[in-house]
Amino acid sequence: MSESEKKSSGKKSRPKICRYFDAMSQMGASDIHFKADANPRVRVKGKLRPLTGDPLTNEKIEKMIFDIMSDKQRQQYADRGSTDFSYQLDRENRFRINIFRQRGMTSIAARHIPRDILKYEDLHLPEILKEIASVQQGLVLVAGITGSGKSTTIASMIEQINCTRMCHIVTLEDPIEFMFEDKQAFVNQREIGMDVTDFHDALKYLMREDPDVVLIGEMRDRESFEAALHAAESGHLAFGTVHASNAASTVTRVLELFPPEARELARTSLVFNLQAVVVLKLLKCVRPDIPRIPAVEIMLANPSVRKMIKEKRDTELLSVIRGSFQEGMQDFTESLRYLVENEYISAQAAYEAAPNPEELKMRLKGISVSSGGIIG
């Protein structure tokens, strides 16, 4: 064998899955999905579209994904039937990957995470988020379904703090998504399974790491929410994400993480420490230069909101939001009205996304519904 052949044979070949990641970047796709005996599908502008070519066998899918997984990650998948990890394709492109078993075969869902952290105006988010991220302590919850833009929104808020405040930011993520570079702030990002065994250990030592700002990637259980509340009660600013569809259900969802006998204490802590709830829905935009745009519900913890939560009147929080537009709050209906009137989304898309289509029709006609009835 010649010297050049030896070098060639010793050089590690590029993982085959990278070709699909390259294609994603070229197509502007946000996600790619693999399933045995099916064509891969990419999500472009919110819709899944099949790629051309032959369907992939289970063996080909497993070989592709196992090539970029560590021994530990492969073992986790074998033991649990699912695992998450991140993959850095190059300096510009990073991916959050979930591999899971279905019908005894392997499926993959990978999300593209851009290198650049966009500003609020680039994401078409309300200006009030700047004020929310400027608070020094308390709890900020960002809610929405999977793929609604929670991670991107929180990244913008964390980056604002990074650029403007001399402090220590600690994130706990599974896996790490956006990569922050130290600016005014000093940032440490801990990935579950890589930097620390699990969320339990990460949360256990969190306060010993002297943070000023904390990001808990997803509040999935009582322990994670208690840690966020403890951080807020201790004078820190804590961010977390929750799977919920509106501001009121976010409060309900959080309290349901606790057993009945512990909910009263959790509710009291929420009353004193909650700063804001931001809920997102991503919608198809009619403008060619904007693939998708968020409809946003914002609830700020003013005295009326705190009173409603304290008195267990969570279902009445929407009426407080509707009566507090001048403070920067807005419900989904108001956000949808703005997007329609400014020609970001179609009226049909707005009606389909609206909690109450009839109310949206009234808003578009200039008629508002307040807690006291209809007003012009």
pLDDT at 370: 52
Helices (H) and strands (E) in the chain, counts: 16, 15
What is d(CA 376, CA 370) in angstroms, rounded to the nearest whole number? 10
pLDDT at 369: 54
140: nearest Cα among 153, 125, 149, 121: 153
- H-run or E-run covering 281: strand 274-284
Quick one: what percent of the chain has pLDDT higher than 90?
78
pLDDT at 26: 87
For 77-157, strand residue ranges (E) read 82-88, 93-102, 105-114, 138-143
Q: How far is CA 49 from the centre of its chain?
A: 23
CA torsion, points 141, 142, 146, 149, in degrees to nearest 10?
-160
Cβ neighbour number for residue 193 with a 10 Å cutoff? 17
251: nearest Cα among 191, 311, 293: 311
* Ordered structural domains, the chain, with CATH: 15-113 (3.30.450.90), 120-347 (3.40.50.300)
Q: How many angstroms separate the most distant Cα atoms in the chain?
A: 86
Q: Is the pTM of this model over 0.75?
A: yes
Query: The tokens 């991140």 sit on which residue?
Result: 86
Sign of CA dihedral 266, 267, 273, 277: positive
| Residue 91 dihedral angles phi and psi, to the nearest 5° | -65, -30
Judge contact between 318 and 246, C-beta under 8 A.
yes
| Residue 334 dihedral angles phi and psi, to the nearest 5° | -65, -40
Collect the ranges in the chain with pLDDT lower than 70. 1-12, 368-376
Strand-strand pairing, 368-370 and 373-375: antiparallel
Order of strands, sheet of 93-102, starting from the edge strand that comes earlier in the sequence = 47-50, 41-44, 31-34, 105-114, 93-102, 82-88
Judge contact between 190 and 171, C-beta under 8 A.
yes
pLDDT at 159: 98
Query: The tokens 């608070």 sit on which residue?
Result: 135
pLDDT at 192: 86
Helices (H), the chain: 3-10, 17-27, 58-66, 71-80, 120-123, 128-133, 150-164, 199-205, 222-233, 247-255, 263-273, 303-310, 317-322, 332-341, 347-353, 357-364
Judge contact between 295 and 339, C-beta under 8 A.
yes
